[in-house]
Structure 1
Amino acid sequence: MTQLGSTTTRDGIRFAAWSSSARRLWVSIFDETGAREIDRLELQPEGEGVHALFVAGLAAGTRYGFRADGDYAPERGLWFDPDKLLTDPYAVEIDRPYAHHWRLAARRNEGADTAALMPKTIARVLPKPMPAKPSLFQPGGLIYELNVRSFTKLHPDVPEAQRGTIAALAHPAIIEHLKKIGVSAVELMPVTAWIDERHLPPLGLSNAWGYNPVTFMALDPRLAPGGLAELRDTVAALRKAGIGIILDLVFNHTGESDRLGPTLSLRGLDNQAYYRHEADNRLVNDTGTGNTVACDHPIVREMVLDTLRHFARHAGVDGFRFDLAPVLGRVDGVFDPEAPLLQAIAGDPILADRVLIAEPWDIGPNGYQLGNFRPPYLEWNDRYRDDVRRFWRGDAGAVGALATRLAGSSDIFAKEGLSTSRTVNFIAAHDGMTLADIVAYEAKHNQANGEKNRDGHSENLSWNNGVEGETSDKAIAEARSGDRRALLTTLFASRGTIMLTAGDEFGRTQKGNNNAYAQDNAITWLDWAGRDLALEAHVSALAALRRAVSALADPRFLTGEPPAGSDVPDVAWLTETGAPLGEADWNDAARHRLIMLLGDTEGGRLAVIVNGDRRQCVFTLPVREGFQWQPAVETQAIDLARPLSGRSVSFMIERRIPKDRARKSK
């Protein structure tokens, strides 16, 4: 298909937009401030829905928008209104953020022209594609999910003018922190331009997460005042430090919302084609946001692919996470793992070695698709999240589920003969309670969101540790600190890819708010000055162990048999006495202890010792001649001759005794 958007040459700019049902399309040209429309030129039909026009004399930096006219019949899914200025769906830069205003949603002939309310698209000459480099991220690594704005908003070492931007991620203090905790790739929550949901401004709130995009390529000016070059430079700086960047992209819906929402771009160009509709022309709402992008439409499919290629080629990002990914795989409303768009992404030569991560659920029919995507897609594993929380909450019968999750969730991902897990293990994410709040709040506290605590999940599998009884504040704090360590250690002890949300490594809290999407304030801004440095040091030590012992991160499924060239099984599951866990042990609802004994490539073993009971316990490990057990993490002082504390995870590593020491001991 003809290139869409604006194409800048030495002689002028070619503008092109697509609509299958508009009768007329125009490009509005604005002055250098974007305040005054200086020309309105009609695009000419070129066939197959493309309307285009070359305008001589225009140069890079030109500000513009599209307008479209045709039938206005919302009951038939038609929303054409030439008074609505529309952002180019292929915009790579806009001149200011979106701001909600009632006139953006006014019916035709009921509101004035919206040009004054809309950002203008800026025509740009894209930089040369970056040299192709393989993704730095490999399955088994540590993904660090972060919100760009809240991550550095309060960081004392980052220059104040740079805080809260993509450029801040390249600051030496940030890179040092990421390297210290073993980050393989940072996953940026949405950085493309978004608009507030209409109910937020009256509440004095604004969208802080960015999961409400208008178009898919243009970066939000608040996060990237330097435009694409800012993202490109940050990617380069992080890659130099051995850290990749994954973009969290939202292709499942846009901020145009439901029938009461604003007309900003796709709705005004061709609402029927860009969004899915019911038979009666009502918008499908498989996303919970009011609309659902028609990812099975060829024009949408090409736009999504062009967006991914854009960020891969011109910014050099390592991969993508797809929000509500089943929408991308719905064909005529039904999820199909072989859907054309999913296959096209995985098979595209430019995207071939990028990491692809699916959030495998939406709220539509049969929207829960965990385990049903195909390689190479990794998947967020909420079963891991829930089973780990249940175990540490003390739920009965949770030990078997914990073992399955530690081992890579073969019950979910070992399909069609696959030998490698596609799990992304996480205990907490942006959506839900922070890791510290899981052990401090039994129920959500979302009053600040202005919805009378009705929003957000009600079942968090969380607990309020130490409140019952006459426990002292010090004892409560110590209990919660221990539980935070146990949760984090469990995560780092889990096979396959793991994900940590920024700040959880040093005990960040949102005061029990489990849906802080509208809190662009101290609720979500990371408190770098008040962080738990001991917990952070513990996470750093866990990261060092995970790097040193390949058996921890290995995404291959365990078999219980020795791998080729070894006489040590890849795993053995033991009780606290060192005996194999039998059927009765697995079925013991009161059991909260186990040992995962992993074999490594050097003939030694790593013991992951889990004591989920509140009582101390002596653990016994099998002894082999010529080997000895040693503590594996510098922040853990372990003596197997003494009881290990309750509600803890510990590591012991088995190493060969040097021959000279062995002779002396004899």
Structure 2
Amino acid sequence: MARAPEQTLPRRIRANRLGVTVLPDGIDVSVVSTHASLVEFCAVDIDGAGTIRERRFALNGPELGVWSGFIPGIKPGQHYGFRVHGRWDPDASMRHNPAKLLVDPYALGVAGDYDLGPAVYSHQVDDSLHPLPGRRRLSELDSAPHVPHSVVVDESYDGPVGTLDLPWSTTVIYEAHVRGLTMAMPGVPAHLRGTYAGVAHPATITHLKELGITALQLLPIHAKLPEPFLIEKGLTNYWGYNTLGFFAPEPSYATKAAQEAGPSAVLREVKGMVSLLHEAGIEVILDVVYNHTCEAGIDGPTLSWRGLGESSFYMQSGTNPADFWDVTGTGNSLDFRLRRVTQMALDSLRYWVEKVGIDGFRFDLAVTLGRQGREFIPHHPFYVAMTTDPVLRSRKLINEPWDLGPNGWRTGQFPSPTADWNDRFRNAVRSFWLTDQRVQVDGHKPHDSRELVTRLSGSADLFSRGRTPGGRGTFASINFITAHDGFTLRDLVTYDGKHNEANLEGNRDGTNDNRSWNHGAEGHNPELLEARLKSMRNLIGTLLLSSGTPMMTAGDEIARTQDGNNNPYCQDNELSWIDWRTEPWQDDFHATVSHLLQLRREHEVFRPAGFFSGTPRTGDSLPDVTWIDRGGAEMPAWKWFEPSSRTFQMLRSGGGRDVDALLMINGLVDDAEFTVPTGRGRPFDLVWDSAEPRPKRFDELALPGSTVMVNGQSIRLYLSNPS
């Protein structure tokens, strides 16, 4: 059992700041543990042989649940943790156990290995790490040698720290993993591959800039731990959605030199990455996981929050405090009804903006953050605080608008100025170009095009509602076809079903709702490549030419594959890393993506901020959008309900400031003749055809009233000729 503390501390704490504050002669420290009877700050010293010695200091408190004190002589680089004394009564959600060294929830750095075993559990477990039968009994095994430690960090950095503030109207998001992006990237030196420094290497930045990316969205870089069931299988949580600390960067993503130098150097490397990306004009968005922690379910390990006080952090059953109410599927859910949970999330967000320069955040399972118990509230106090906060309100705030709890699907229901991942867009585009095409090839009737048309137009049904005129605007719709979670773009056209055997879960994990089409045979097949590539061009073309904010998944621009694995969260290997070696057809596809992004960048007509009304805007004679059938006449309302509506034209007005854009979409199997609409009476130049394997210069000038042949299952894009 833990011994008594060596000494008590003077009161010199800055009471409004939790965690550790480095001062010239020591540190101020404070931590929340509302029901504890004593909290010790433990300075951990490790000698060359790995032997641990602790210096323990009794903190003052509690004052409103906060324990605090000033500790002289402590400097950056010092390992530390907390030991919490108090009531042991798991049935009442009291698991105070001073034998467990706890990570500071506000630690700016962590270090050390995780040795999963009986010592990391606050209760006694058997050899399989299951609780002993009967009432949970306190474990007296010391966890300090088996868990990561908090580390006091020197926050100094010589470079600039600030944000870019690029407008939503020009934003193109590129979702990537720190390791997966550069582990095999040519031009990045071997010692920088898979690191923060590798992300900011000129070779990486050059690729992003040439492609046309404005915002790099990184999968979680908060400190993480693997789940016990993955450790047992010899796997790890590659994606990182299992947070150990919301303020500390994941040390394993840093260069070897930074890791050896310690968490202060790791933090400097992260700041350097952000600074160099900003210098190149690229924003940095972090995927953040405030909905749960790495402590798993009610009988999971005790690493931080559980030992400080479960009831102060986790969502509990309304009838039994010993049970968690899990709406995340991870065993625990942080409870945003609790003040300290909301405070921790807001403090963390501000820290990453003010001290690191992060431009925005993507909130994993964001519905959990807006739950008032079982109910989701769009104007939850957390969202009100975040969207009115002077530091956070101007950041790019993106919701993953669902969780696994009751009524967990909430796309379009979050408050302004946040944006949502638009899964309705993803599903509509996949269905139109893949599953409906398969239905037609099999001789059956496909769906009509109403859903696709709605998504092309910015999803007004989801984002135009609300108190603000015009709702949240088109850019609140984060349009995507693929993400880290699910098939890659290439695998969407290569596999009908998932192939997740490498995850060692009997292929039961991962979604079955893929809306994919293998084009006739499962797996890679050179004979099917041409047809698959056209489908990929249709998918990416629809994404980049639709109203809204496009998000691409790293590697889709070169048609990377994961061999049909749609859930490689535990695959830190070549299956998940992008293979940048390309064949000529991949280079052609990359050229297509770059061409489409250039067109989007050069022409505002593809980036409307407001929703279409079908009427002219001020000073214009042409409606902002006109829907036209393939015969050149305005589309009658009844025709949208027929499968024949899968051939249609979308004429978008440039408002007199830009060219007009004409999209011809043939969602049928056979080629179809289209009549060019009148528009302003000007001819149209063909600038892209998804039937072409690579962008090229067309000599075709389409005159109003003339006819053109559009290939089956393809898109043509015309821009009005100003002459």
Alignment partner, residue 488 of structure 2: 434
Instruction: Name the CA distance, whole Å, in 1 between partners of 2:506 and 2:231.
Output: 16
8 Å CA contact retained: 1:248, 1:321: yes
C-alpha distance in structure 2 between counterparts of 1:390 and 1:98, whole Å = 44
Deviates more, 1:69-78 or 1:317-326: 69-78
Q: Which runs of 5+ in 1 are unaligned?
A: 658-666
- Quick check: 1:76 aligned with 2:130? no
Residue 196 of structure 2 is matched in structure 1 by 166
Query: How far is the alpha carbon of 1:134 from its aligned partner?
Result: 5.0
Query: Which moved further from structure 2: 94-103 or 173-182?
Result: 94-103
Kindly state the Cα deviation for residue 590 of structure 1 after the two structures are TM-superposed.
4.3
Closer/same/farther in 2, CA of residues 598 and 117 from structure 1, 3 Å limit: same
How far residue 230 of structure 1 moved from its aligned partner, in angstroms, is 1.5
Q: 1:68 to 1:624 in 2, by over 3 A?
A: closer
AA aligned opposite 2:151: I
Distance of aligned partners of 1:465 and 1:27 in 2 relative to their CA distance in 1, 3 Å threshold: same
TM-score computed with the length of structure 1 as normaliser: 0.94
Q: Matched residue of 1:404: which SS? A: helix
* 8 A Cα contact 1:97 1:194, kept in partner: no
- 5 Å matches for 1:217-228? 217-224=247-254, 225=259, 226-228=265-267
1-structure distance, mates of 2:111, 2:494: 43
Q: Which amino acid aligns with 2:720?
A: E
The structure-2 alpha-carbon separation of the partners of 1:603 and 1:514, relative to structure 1 and needing over 3 Å to count, comes to closer
Tell me whether 1:319 sits opposite 2:387 in the alignment.
no
Q: Which of 505, 516, 527 is the matching residue for 1:462?
A: 516
Q: Cα distance, 1:337 vs. partner? A: 1.1
Counterpart in the other structure of 1:630: 685
Query: Which amino acid in structure 2 is aligned with residue 92 of structure 1?
Result: L
CA distance in 2, matches of 1:193, 1:305: 17
Matched letter for residue 266 of structure 2: G
SS at match of 2:194: coil
1:161-560 correspondence runs (5 A): 161-224=191-254, 225=259, 226-278=265-317, 279-281=319-321, 282-395=323-436, 396-416=446-466, 417-419=469-471, 420-421=473-474, 422-467=476-521, 473-530=525-582, 532-560=586-614
The 8 Å contact of residues 137 and 355 in structure 1, kept in 2 or not, is answered as no
1:94 aligns with 2:110: yes
What secondary structure, in the 3-state scheme, does the structure 1 residue paired with 2:427 have?
A: helix
Residue in structure 2 matching 1:17, options 13, 31, 40? 31
Matched position secondary structure for 2:539 = helix
Judged with a 3 Å threshold, the aligned counterparts in structure 2 of structure 1 residues 196 and 313 are, in CA distance, closer, same or farther, namely same
Letter of the 1:237 counterpart: L
How far does the alpha carbon of each residue in 1:535-568 deviate from its partner, in whole angstroms, 9 at most, with x for none?
Answer: 1111000000000111212231011111112112
- Could you tell me which of 640, 660, 664 is aligned with 1:609? 664
User: Aligned partners of 2:368, 2:325: CA distance in 1, in Å?
Assistant: 11
Percent identity over paired residues? 38
- Which letter does structure 2 place at the counterpart of 1:510? Q
Q: Distance in 1 between matches of 2:435 and 2:153?
A: 57
CA contact (8 A) 1:134 1:354 kept: no
Match of 1:663 in 2: none
Would the aligned equivalents of 2:499 and 2:565 in 1 still touch at CA under 8 Å? yes
Compare 54-63 and 636-645 and name the one that shifted more.
636-645
Contact 1:567–1:603 (CA<8 Å) still a contact in 2? no
Alpha-carbon separation, structure 2, partners of 1:400 and 1:333: 34
Offset, 1:585: 2.0
Read off the aligned partner of 2:402 and give its amino acid letter: W
Partner Cα separation in structure 2 for residue 460 and residue 533 of structure 1: 26
1:323 positional shift? 0.5
Counterparts of 1:119 and 1:604, CA distance in 2: 58
TM-score (norm: length of structure 2): 0.87
Structure 2 distance, partners of 1:528, 1:116, is 41
Larger deviation, residues 578-587 vs 513-522? 578-587
Q: Assess, with a 3 A threshold, how the Cα gap between structure 1 residues 526 and 536 changes in structure 2: closer, same or farther.
A: same
**1:257 shift after superposition:** 0.6
The 8 Å contact of residues 83 and 102 in structure 2, kept in 1 or not, is answered as: yes
Distance 2:709 2:416 in 1: 44
Q: Do the aligned residues in 1 keep the contact of 2:162 with 2:356 (CA within 8 Å)?
A: no
- CA separation of 1:157 and 1:215: change in aligned 2, threshold 3 A: same
Q: Aligned to 1:619, which of 674, 678, 698?
A: 674
Paired position in structure 2 for 1:588: 642
Which structure 2 residue ranges, 5 or more long, are not aligned? 1-14, 125-137, 260-264, 437-445, 689-693
Amino acid at match of 1:478: E
Decide whether the 8 Å contact of 1:283 with 1:290 is kept in 2: yes
Give the C-alpha shift of residue 249 in structure 1. 0.4
SS at match of 2:248: coil
**Residues 530 and 218 (structure 1), Cα distance of their counterparts in 2 relative to 1, 3 Å cut:** same
Corresponding residue to 1:114 among 138, 143, 162? 143
Distance 1:418 1:624, change over 3 A: closer
The 8 Å contact of residues 28 and 37 in structure 1, kept in 2 or not, is answered as no
Asked whether the 8 Å contact 1:510–1:523 carries over to 2, the reply is yes
Deviation at 1:44, TM superposition (A): 1.4
8 Å CA contact 1:98, 1:194 repeated in 2: no
